[in-house]
């Protein structure tokens, strides 16, 4: 009997305030869409960092024929100097940070690589193998330890410059992190709007049924029994918005990311639709939690004796 009564009250409340309830659904849908997008974007950043940073190398460029650096004052790198550099990277101070083996790229190999990737011939036609410089390609067990390796090698005789390939990705990661921050800020603003709409919806519903709630108090109904229909109205509207947001994110990731982007750029490790499902419970929990907070704040005033 009580469940039937509560269900009836909830239905009547939603029907009376249908426009406000729909507004709650839409605002919750948009706000949680931004929030879910921020979470998924951060997952994508983590995937990119894990995938790309594990592949980047530290390039130890050795002294070429001509260089104005102090380490190259004696001319191009000698065999003895190269052996000393490799000894530092294999068994020396930073040997435990470096993945073995270390790859040595000669001037000829560097030139061949340039020719293979210079499709228009802008550089390869004006350069020769003698203009290139040999390089040691070093992979680290932990890419974050670049500076330690650089400090140990950049002042050695025969070393021209030490380059960290992570710098190539810094701008990309910066843009993605800022996009995540913007999405999170927009989500916070929209969630605040959702709370205010839920509060307004519940207040209007409570005011329109002031006479009914007064009668219920007079016949001895508990505070919970009186407030529960109003709380459920807000929770249902917010949960519906969360579900729509989850569905929207799932469709976007499935068709835009998995089906299209993954086929266009196959070297990138993308997020998947299963990642959307992993954040879905949190989105629903946030929707219900915000609804509960708004309900408790509002009902304390408008359904009290």
Pair (208, 241) in one structural domain: yes
User: What is the rounded CA–CA span in Å between residue 47 and residue 236?
Assistant: 35
Q: Same domain, yes or no, for 184 and 295? A: yes
- Domain finish residue from 165, 198, 226: 165
Sign for the CA dihedral angle at 36, 39, 42, 43 comes to negative
CATH number, domain at 117?
3.30.70.3040
Residue whose C-alpha is closest to residue 51's, from 164, 169, 138, 175: 169
- Among residues 146, 165, 184, which one ends one of the domains? 165
pTM of the complete model: 0.66
Grade residue 144 by pLDDT with cuts at 50, 70 and 90. confident
Q: Kindly state the tokens that stand for 153.
A: 């090698």
Q: Are residues 40 and 65 in the same domain?
A: no
In the chain, how many domains are there?
2
Question: pLDDT tens, 22-53?
Answer: 877 888 898 888 888 888 988 888 887 777 76
pLDDT in tens, 279-292: 999 999 999 888 88
CA-to-CA dists, residue 168 to 47, 53, 58, 60, 93, angstroms: 16, 10, 12, 16, 27
Same domain, 106 and 249: no
Are residues 133 and 237 located together in one domain of the fold?
Answer: no
What's the pLDDT score for residue 242?
Answer: 93
305 band by pLDDT with thresholds 50, 70 and 90: very low
Q: Which domain holds residue 274?
A: 2-52+170-302
Instruction: At 135, list the tokens.
Output: 């390089």
Q: What pLDDT, in 10s, does the model give residues 86-128?
A: 898 888 878 888 888 888 888 888 888 778 877 666 666 777 8
């Amino acid at each position: 009997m009580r469940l039937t009564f509560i269900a009836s009250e909830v239905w009547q409340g939603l029907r009376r305030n249908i426009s406000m309830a729909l507004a709650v659904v839409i605002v919750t849908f948009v706000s949680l869409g931004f929030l879910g997008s921020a979470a998924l974007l951060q997952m994508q950043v983590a995937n990119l960092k894990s995938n790309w940073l594990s592949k980047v190398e530290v390039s130890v460029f050795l002294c070429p024929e001509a260089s104005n650096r102090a380490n190259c004052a004696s001319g191009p790198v000698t065999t003895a100097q190269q052996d000393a550099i490799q000894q530092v990277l294999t068994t020396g101070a930073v040997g435990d940070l470096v993945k073995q083996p270390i790859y040595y790229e000669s001037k000829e190999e560097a030139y061949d690589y340039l020719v293979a990737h210079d499709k228009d011939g802008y550089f390869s036609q004006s350069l020769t193998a003698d203009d290139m410089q040999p390089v040691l390609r070093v992979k680290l067990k932990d890419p974050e330890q670049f500076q330690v390796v650089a400090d140990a090698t950049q002042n050695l005789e025969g070393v021209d410059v030490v380059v960290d390939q992570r710098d190539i990705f810094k701008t990309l990661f910066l843009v993605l992190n800022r996009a995540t921050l913007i999405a999170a800020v927009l989500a916070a603003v929209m969630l605040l709007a959702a709370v205010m709409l839920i509060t307004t919806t519940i207040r209007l519903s409570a005011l329109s049924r002031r006479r009914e709630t007064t009668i219920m108090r007079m016949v001895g109904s508990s505070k919970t029994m009186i407030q529960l229909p109003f709380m459920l109205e807000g929770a249902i509207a917010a949960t519906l918005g969360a579900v729509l947001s989850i569905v929207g994110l799932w469709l976007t990731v499935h068709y835009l990311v998995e089906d299209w982007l993954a086929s266009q750029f196959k070297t990138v490790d993308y997020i998947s639709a299963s990642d959307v499902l992993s954040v879905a419970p949190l989105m629903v929990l946030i929707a219900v939690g915000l609804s509960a907070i708004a309900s408790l704040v509002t009902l304390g005033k408008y359904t009290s004796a």
